[in-house]
Chain A
Amino acid sequence: MFKDGKFHIIDGAMGSLLQTRGLKSGEKPELFILENPDILLDIHNEYAKYCDIVTTCTFGANRLKLGSSELVRKVINTAVSVAKKSNATAVALDIGPIGTMLEPIGTLKFEEAYDLFKEQVEAGEQAGADLVIIETVADLLEMKAAVLAVKENSSLPVIATMTFEADGRTFLGTDAKTAAVTLSSLGVDALGVNCSLGPDELKSVVSEMLDYSSVPVVVQPNAGLPSIENGNTVYKITSEAFANSCEYFADCGVSVFGGCCGTTPEHIKAVKQMLCNKTPVQRKIKKTTTFCSGRKTVELDGRNTLIIGERINPTGKKRLKEALREKDYGYVINEALSQEEFGADVLDVNAGLPEIDETQTLVSLVKEIQSVCALPLQIDSSDPKSVESAVRIYCGKPIINSVNGNKESMDSILPIVKKYGTGIVVLTLDENGIPETAEKRFEVAKRIVDKAVEMGIPKENILVDCLVLTVSTNQKAVRETLKAVTLVKEKLGVKTVLGVSNVSFGMPEREMINAAFLAEAFGAGLDMPILNPMSEKYREIINAHKVINNEDAGGKKFIELYAGKKKEEKRDNIHSLDIKEIIISGRKSLAYNTVSQMLETTDPLDVINNYFIPALDTVGDCFEKGTMFLPQLMASAQTVKNGFDAIKDHVGNTVATKGKIVLATVKGDIHDIGKNIVKMLLSNYGYDVIDLGKDVDPTVVADAVEQSGARLVGLSALMTTTVRAMKDTIDILRERGLECKVMVGGAVLNKEYADMVGADYYVSDATESAKTAAVVLGK
């Protein structure tokens, strides 16, 4: 409805007008209108004089805020019915943010958010809404849940607008470009900005959106920044000033206008008058290749290179396999963060291990990585179910790796690419295998690209991988790959990727061959190599290539990196220091190498029992005596953790443990640093800790104890309001007759509370928990 080349005007604020007609501060507008439909109709009609779309009074009409699905339906039904009686051309069902935060910061799950929105959408369409406006959202993932809820449960057009701060980002750190890229790719009908600041402060946000949005851009600002005086919220921007700012936006290319907090029919009237002699400006939309996380967009503009980090792939990696089996996502996150540090622009994520549940693992990896790492992800799997599950909960616009020329692959993967607007890696192979010649590979690529484009997948989202074969078994084929890259790029006009490292398989000095191949591939037109960014040889080629390719302007970065720098000399022999001393003094960076060296002559279990544990005991004693303090205790704990990493890398497996312990921060509670400290220390002592995380349902704790047979459970609760959940959890453990002891801790707890909730032990700090574990499970 917004592609008609005309301006559209949406109404202004509802809440503040209701307040002038009897809504009290703190009262829910959604409930007020149930009693006062006439007032609501009046306001809609006031606006309808100047706008063509009115929005329903349903901003907070979700089950979480209203308490029941029944009330949600009642409010939405009333609000839409009243709006439809007005003189407006179209009625937009208004959907605001849920009002509590989604994971990982909050505890609301993506699927729960989706279900809340779904109820609203279904009720809205039934009541006769003509379109949906999702507005004032700060979390891109919450917005994605809402957009999917609209698209999957109705046939209504959808406008998606987000709220930005003075720094050009939402509260959760999404910038305007990222919002525009993600929402465009999800297929909304218009996108933009609402609420936020006054119109003048939104200029840069709007201009980025105009560059990157493939659909019309909407602007609905506030009437400036409000102040609250004697319970009344006061806005200061006049209708004339408001319209003047909107004129600026109209001249830049914005075609849908409206007002948010503090705007009145006067503001909308002024906008209408301002627009009456104008026609929308033809926009210049950038057709570059873009991918993003929730906080960062990377872009191929035809002149630059992007590096895809390959390390999160268990194939041939003992330690990563073990980490995935054990759900030790901390290890994976560190792999992600170090690749980011070494210059990766995108991270490939693969969880393909025969003995694990790929879908669930891939989803967990995506959630965990995107909670701390800002790089866009490439979801690497051939299983359509895993791909879709991971892409669905991904915040941003990911790449899917991959589709090939097999009918089955195209039929299952391309619809996902289309629906979620992701990037896609196209492999030049089909049911007949990998063609030998460059021309044949080009043909396969063309067939897949044509099909994708026919389905409506933009060419910019397509990356072709011409497949690297190993030089040791297929020497002639390597050249064909390079030729194919050039062909595909020139004739199909798409970008290219290549997994580089495979080329040297079976050869000595693999990095040497990899580096030479990478340089040649760049020459052939490679845009995105998939490689290990930790390899210095690769980095040298990449950094040099960026100078030659005129990406690194003036060679500035290159000079910074290499001018006047000699190779770092090997450090002195640090291993003269005893590991016990290293632990006690908390010298985290020395542990890994020292322990690695010890393992050449010492059994891993001896390292733990004869060195780690006595050192930890010493630190624990000092902590209790008050001669050492929490940061020192934690430095020692981290040092032991780093030592354990060396052991795990050495044996590629877990060492024999001293028993299992289930840990959780209880339902409703989100503070988990205390629990994480305890976890670290207990792992240090050699216990196998099953960490269930925060906000853990009592039954989940009981299930974990049942499945693992753990004989000790640690529960953490930090607030008086969540201590109840501690009791509920212990009650369930007892009801099921599970033979486990329970220790509890947390800021508001004490011995009496612990007794009250039925715990066996109260632990006042992490060292206490280690002592309790020794009592229950043995040292």
Chain B
Amino acid sequence: MQNFIDEVIRYLGYGENVPDKEVIDTITEIKNNADLLLKPKSVYGTFGIGYFDFLSSDLSAHLKGAESIILFAATLGAESERLASYYQKTDIQKAVIFDAVCNALIEQYCDCICQEIADKLLKDNKYINTRFSPGYGDFSIEYQSLILDNLNAGRRIGLSVNQSSLLLPQKSVTAVIGVFDSPPEGKARGCDSCNMKESCKMKGESGCSKTANSIL
């Protein structure tokens, strides 16, 4: 819980500063409410190499040496939209905090599902690398719908895109993950491949907002 709250605090732009108790209490209250009401869902599947990796050169680099790939999609669900709207109409401070809580939640949820995938694959001596999402580098966000279609994500988890390739519900992630026969080189994705690098206020800090659909 403390790690989670620290993450939210970073999303809220505190850097190394410590918020006062009231803000921390509000974060805790909103996190508890979110845990109660939100039902995150995910869907993923394995696909052969050669079908998706050519979509962008950065994605190809990410998948170099992979023996197969995993398409992945996750969402906090429609209730996250409703709650966001509720907070925005009743208390703007809570709305801002809820937004950060959702960003942290979807990341945490994706990490958790990916860990499950990694554990499963490890039994066959296979390894995965990190999630690479549309919007990273030259991997256009217009590929969101291709990932969703291949996973049948509309039916499976209620995730869709609008005409501008924005995910609906907003607090969602799609990604491509490489599957390898040996542990891939542990190269974390840096700020350079991020499409927000020009304007990001957290650039260079630990724990930036990594979600493809992040807001603040």
Contact = CB atoms under 8 A, between A and B. Distances in A.
Interface of A: 25-26, 97, 99-101, 104-107, 136, 138, 163, 165, 167, 170-173, 195, 227-231, 233, 261, 330, 333-334, 337, 371-372, 586, 588, 626, 629-632, 634-635, 637-638, 641, 668-674, 676-677, 680, 695, 718-722, 725, 747-750, 752-753, 764
Q: Which interface residue of A101, A165, A720, A750 has the most chain B CB atoms within 10 A?
A: A101
Given A163-B155, A171-B77, A631-B12, A747 B214 contact: yes
B122 interface: no
Given A173-B78, A195-B155, A26 B12 contact: no
B85 A670 contact: no
Interface in B54-73: 68, 71
A230 B95 contact: no
Q: Which interface residue of B48, B152, B195, B214 has the most chain A CB atoms within 10 A?
A: B152
Interface in B157-183: 157-158, 160-166, 168-170
Given A101-B168, A330-B89, 14 more contacts: A26-B146, A97-B154, A100-B161, A105-B81, A105-B169, A136-B155, A171-B78, A171-B158, A195-B155, A230-B48, A372-B82, A632-B23, A634-B92, A673-B95
Given A371-B82, A631-B12, A748-B195, A231 B155 contact: no
B9 to A, nearest CB: 9
Contact of B88 (A629, A673, A747, A753): A673
A484 to B, nearest CB: 41
Contacts, number: 181
B79 A173 contact: yes
A99 B160 contact: yes
Interface string B179-201: 00000000000000001101100
B92 A641 contact: yes
What are the nearest 6 A-B pairs in CB distance? A228-B45, A171-B158, A668-B164, A634-B93, A635-B93, A105-B81
A579 B175 CA distance: 49
A128 to B, nearest CB: 28
29 contacts: A100-B162, A101-B169, A105-B81, A106-B162, A106-B168, A107-B162, A138-B158, A171-B77, A171-B157, A173-B78, A228-B43, A230-B48, A231-B45, A231-B150, A333-B90, A586-B93, A588-B93, A629-B13, A630-B96, A631-B19, A634-B95, A634-B96, A635-B22, A638-B91, A638-B92, A668-B166, A670-B162, A673-B215, A676-B88
Given A671-B215, A720-B141, A721-B164, A676 B12 contact: no
B154 A631 contact: no
Q: Which interface residue of A104, A631, A632, A720 has the most chain B CB atoms within 10 A?
A: A631
Bin the interface of chain B by size.
Answer: 35 or more
Given A173-B78, A668-B162, A668-B163, A165 B39 contact: yes
A239 to B, nearest CB: 22
Contacts of B48: 230-231
A670 B170 contact: yes
Contacts of B32: none
Nearest to A725: B164
Interface in B33-47: 39, 41, 43-47
B116 interface: no
Contacts of A25: 47, 150
Contacts of B160: 99-101, 106
Contacts of A720: 135, 141, 195
B119 interface: no
A588 B93 CA distance: 10
B118 interface: no
Interface of B: 12-15, 17, 19-20, 22-23, 26, 39, 41, 43-48, 51, 68, 71, 77-79, 81-82, 84-86, 88-93, 95-97, 99, 135, 141-142, 146, 149-152, 154-155, 157-158, 160-166, 168-170, 195-196, 198-199, 214-216
Contact of B93 (A371, A631, A753): A631
Contacts of A753: 198
A123 B202 CA distance: 53
Nearest to A196: B155
Nearest to B79: A173
B129 to A, nearest CB: 19
Nearest to B212: A719
Given A106-B162, A630-B216, A750-B198, A676 B92 contact: yes
A415 B25 CA distance: 53
Contacts of B41: 165
Contacts of A752: 198
Nearest to B86: A372
B70 to A, nearest CB: 9
B39 A167 contact: yes
Nearest to B17: A629
A673 B216 contact: yes
Contacts of A26: 146, 149-150
Nearest to B146: A26
A674 B160 CA distance: 22
B60 to A, nearest CB: 19
B109 to A, nearest CB: 16
Contacts of A630: 12-13, 96, 216
Contact of B89 (A230, A372, A670, A748): A372
A172 B78 contact: yes
A670 B77 contact: no
A233 B92 CA distance: 44
B46 A230 contact: yes
A721 B141 contact: yes
Contacts of B215: 671, 673-674, 718, 747
B44 A228 contact: yes
Contacts of A231: 45-48, 51, 150
A733 B168 CA distance: 30
A677 B12 CA distance: 14
B95 A676 contact: yes
Nearest to B93: A634
Contacts of B97: 631
Given A230-B68, A631-B19, A99 B154 contact: yes
Nearest to B214: A747
A334 B90 contact: yes
Nearest to B201: A764
A105 B78 contact: yes
Nearest to A724: B164
A753 B196 CA distance: 12
Contacts of B81: 104-105
Q: Which interface residue of B51, B158, B169 has the most chain A CB atoms within 10 A?
A: B158
B211 to A, nearest CB: 11
Given A230-B46, A669-B164, A671-B215, A629 B12 contact: yes
B195 to A, nearest CB: 6
B95 to A, nearest CB: 6
A333 B168 contact: no
Contacts of B170: 670-671
Contacts of B166: 668-671, 719, 721-722
